[in-house]
Amino acid sequence: MTIKDVARYCGVSVSTVSRVLNNHPDVSKQVRARVQEAIATLHYVPNKSARDLVAAPMNAIGVVIRGSGNPFFTPIINAMDEEADKHDCTLISELISDRDNEISAAAEFVRSKRLKGIIFLGGRFDYTQDEIASIGVPFVCCTFDNQFGDLDESSFSSVSIDDAAEALKATEFLLEHGHRKIAILLDSVDSNSVGALRYSGYCAALKDAGVPVDCDLVVQTGGFSMSSAYDETLALLGRRPDVSAIFSISDSMAVAAMKAISDLGRRVPEDVSVIAIDGIESSLYTVPTLTTLCQPQQTFGKTAVQVLMGVLNDGAQNEHLRLETTLRVGGTVGSR
């Protein structure tokens, strides 16, 4: 069932069918009606790939998302959608799995949809100048930057927080509340990723306070799953009952940690305090409410699009924006 079949069916040319398909004006009322009826009865649906190939050079940008289920991304994506609309621009999203390479995914995406630009949501921090060359359009890293790669600053944009500085803030908050035995819950200290950055902030805060880093309190879960965060917190509290506070690099891991603390018969924050970074929706509903440094999720989405549109339409330079978090004081940090 192609456009040809429809054309043949009602005895017109394919161009006529194409015209009614695309709402072009110069088609007689009768013919238009006839074609539309044919389309309906034949259940004809145009082939998007064929359309994309010919490509009305639309105004479209894409977002490549790694980790569909990540609740942290949801508000960001919504904000992107909204902002793209304001710029009369279509935002097309492409989901990739953990094993996919976001660079090649983006390159393919750009070609097949003729995208003007790309936003990455959840990507590596260590791209090389060589590998990004395949992308071919301006791009912006959203919620991360290229701290471990060799990318030229002027060759791309980013919108993110200063992970080390924010982790330092979080740790300082605990220190200010009198905590000294502060554990950190993270994926890995040498992941070339957010874990490493936030770990450095944690270390810096301790150092500033004259507290030595205790390896035993550095809990590496090997990922961001709640189950491993739970297990590792259980283990931590087992071997080190003296821990008085935990800094988790993500909200969801903090939620799992809180459960582990509770399951051991300890209380948050009376026995163990918890602080994190993220500000995902569900961390509002823990009891007590999670104290966390909220990342500006909507602003991330909005700004990422704005920066991209600036480069695309106004010939602006690439830029690297660092947004700040907002401390949300919940009830998970107590004083010592």
Partner DNA sequence: ATGAAAGCGCTAACAT
Partner DNA sequence: ATGTTAGCGCTTTCAT
Q: Per CB under 7 A, does 40 bind DNA?
A: no
Cα distance between residue 96 and residue 61, in whole Å: 16
Question: Taking CB within 5 to 8 Å according to partner kind, which of DNA, its own copies, none is near residue 281?
Answer: its own copies
Q: Per CB under 8 A, does 90 bind its own copies?
A: no
Q: Per CB under 7 A, does 107 bind DNA?
A: no
Q: Per CB under 7 A, does 4 bind DNA?
A: yes
User: What's the closest the beta carbon of residue 315 comes to its own copies, in angstroms?
Assistant: 22
Q: Per CB under 8 A, does 259 bind its own copies?
A: yes
Cα distance between residue 333 and residue 327, in whole Å: 12
Q: Per CB under 8 A, does 82 bind its own copies?
A: no
Q: Select from 159, 246, 256, 272 the one that contacts its own copies (CB under 8 A).
A: 256
Q: Which of residues 24-43 bind its own copies (CB under 8 A)?
A: 43
Amino acid (1-letter code) at residue 212:
P
# of chain residues touching DNA (CB under 7 A): 28
User: What's the closest the beta carbon of residue 8 comes to DNA, in angstroms?
Assistant: 11
Q: Which is nearer to DNA, 51 or 239 (CB)?
A: 51
Q: Per CB under 8 A, does 115 bind its own copies?
A: no
Q: Which of residues 228-247 bind its own copies (CB under 8 A)?
A: 230
Cα distance between residue 221 and residue 157, in whole Å: 31
Q: Select from 23, 26, 43, 270 the one that contacts DNA (CB under 7 A).
A: 26
Q: Per CB under 7 A, does 3 bind DNA?
A: yes
